[in-house]
Amino acid sequence: MIEGAVGGNAVGAGLKNLSIGAAGNSIAGAIGGLGGGQLLGMLGTSGEAAAAVGGFDIAGLLGGAGGGAVLTAVIWLIKNKMMG
């Protein structure tokens, strides 16, 4: 969840036009991070990556951050379509 929140806030900070506010970026990012981390876990990459880097789950970190960033951008798109 933390990785996703970081990813969501990174998108909001890096691309100001995609920001849905600090709280929105964090919440969307955390939810997206759970999904991204779970997806990579189901693909079996997390355990292998963690073993390769001494127990640090780099695939889970990247999946969480990526999932958070993607979901934040998707929510921004939906919000903008609904508002006109």
Amino acid at 33: G
pLDDT score for 69? 87
pLDDT score for 25? 84
**Ranges in the chain, pLDDT < 50:** none
- How far apart CA 11 and CA 13 sit, in angstroms, is 5
pLDDT score for 21? 86
pLDDT score for 18? 76
Burial annotation 72-84 (CB, 10 A radius, 16+ → b, else e) = bbebbeeeeeeee
Give the start-to-end residue ranges of the domains of the chain: 2-83
pLDDT score for 55? 61
pLDDT score for 47? 55
Is there a contact between 64 and 1 (Cβ–Cβ < 8 Å)?
A: yes
